[in-house]
Structure 1
């Protein structure tokens, strides 16, 4: 999740956003989503807000801000604006070392324990679904390859954006993304529809459930005793103290032996009494102590 960069040159005639106005909008975004907008990103926020203002017929930032607080129409408009303020840039198999860690080290250990009959994974900030389906592909392929392993798995995929989630539920992607998926996975999990698009096969789609969720509410998350939490390229948009709070809450949702996978370099010097760092040179992950 990142701040959007639009091209709305036609909006230059609208009033500018002074520092006080920017501070008010930045505070609103952080309070409602947790995303921090530093002063250097002011042009991105202004561009996105202006773009939506043009569509709604607003010409003043303060008028639009006020209308966002009207209920219930303001809540509906806020959902649309948040989608404009975030860019859903994601890829299949975005960080291969993390998926290799899951497939080659964590899954065999889980299967060897003999105590698992079901695995529940959570893709946090799943955007348009590429990450969640990658997780499902990796789990399905490697669980089925483990001899005598009778393990069922499911992936819960969440994001703050309803439009992004709709794309994930549809599981339909432009053909330009096809090469992101290794050939061995394409053969098992992809249906090439035409020259422009492909879809994820129904058998895998059934393993992934999409739901709207704001990570700020993680302390009240309905998900409990998770085996795997995959949270990459999400925490970097939160303030440092907020990141620690979120990580503590995520740690509390893991089962003993469960693993939390973060983006490499996303957090520095993180430690938790219930977690142990996984020794890996290219991936950042923690195991819940038994």
Structure 2
């Protein structure tokens, strides 16, 4: 066997367009935790750079330090919305975690027999695919019933997308057979818009889950809060769960994400099925 000589490759130094050091990253971690409850892992430094660099270019600033100084200045409050929007994750698609929707369907059928309006809160609506999936399930399961869906999110940009209800063809292609033609109207540019009957069921508004109070004044038959609290530390998760409890009807259901487990809140919620919780006996009516 011929032994090839080793070649010393030159070390490549990658330089960033804007100065971004560990101190900048730590400031960002503290700010997003304070504003949104998001506990950024130290490994997310490159992701943070990629998401915020566009704001620095747009504002014509010279560095992340300059951006953070502006963000924390007296006039920086207006930029905070853009800052939070950039750092929140909005991965979603229609009927994500599909095992939840047959459970929701049976729950709504049972609740509809009691009469009255059925109320559902989607606490992380993102671009709207989740609340529209809930609405489609309701229309199929309890036709004729009065159903209202409260859709909230921290990110104002994605809320506007949800409010319009317009999606590209590749997202609509993931719908179950027949749903596209039944629930959406094809637009001239090839996109699809949710039909008016579907859109009228849902109200979109901004809500920050870590705010001390929420502008919600009724109880819900179901609450969806999926794949959000994985970004919170346990103290923040528990604080949110304590505020969920009084907003859920005594026989209501809480739907959470596939990697979320709230065993530490057993006095508030008990596991009913795969990532579906109900109020514990002593969890109902807890104050926020």
Query: Any idea what the Cα deviations from partners look like across 1:70-103, whole Å, max 9, x if unmatched?
Result: 34x4222111122222232210101110111111
The structure with higher relative contact order (CA 8 Å, sep 6+) is: 1
Q: Which runs of 5+ in 2 are unaligned?
A: 1-13
Please point out which of 59, 63, 69 is paired with 1:60: 63
- Show the counterpart of 1:84: 86
Cα distance 1:61–1:191, how it changes in 2: closer, same or farther (>3 A)?
Answer: same
Shift of 1:69: 2.5
Q: Do the aligned partners of 2:39 and 2:233 also contact (CA within 8 Å) in 1?
A: yes
Larger Rg: 1 or 2? 2
Query: Any idea what the Cα deviations from partners look like across 1:163-204, whole Å, max 9, x if unmatched?
Result: 111111111110111122112432321112246201100011
Q: TM-score, normalised by structure 1?
A: 0.85
- Show the counterpart of 1:245: 239
Shift of 1:268: 4.5
2-side partners of 1:271 and 1:156: how far apart?
Answer: 25
Matched, 1:284 2:284: no
Once the two structures are overlaid, the 10-residue window that deviates more, 26-35 or 240-249, is 240-249
- Show the counterpart of 1:4: none
Counterparts of 1:1-290 in structure 2, within 5 Å, are 12-18=16-22, 20-71=23-74, 73-104=75-106, 106-112=107-113, 114=114, 116-144=115-143, 151-194=145-188, 196-217=190-211, 219-278=213-272, 280=273, 283-288=274-279
Q: TM-score, normalised by structure 2?
A: 0.86
1-side partners of 2:38 and 2:96: how far apart?
Answer: 22
Shift of 1:240: 2.0
Query: Any idea what the Cα deviations from partners look like across 1:235-281, whole Å, max 9, x if unmatched?
Result: 11111221122112112211111111111231252444353321x3x
Residue 76 of structure 2: SS of its match in structure 1?
helix
1-side partners of 2:258 and 2:178: how far apart?
Answer: 25
Q: Do the aligned partners of 1:178 and 1:198 also contact (CA within 8 Å) in 2?
A: yes
2-side partners of 1:42 and 1:14: how far apart?
Answer: 14
Q: Do the aligned partners of 2:219 and 2:248 also contact (CA within 8 Å) in 1?
A: yes
The two structures, once aligned, show a CA RMSD in angstroms of 2.0
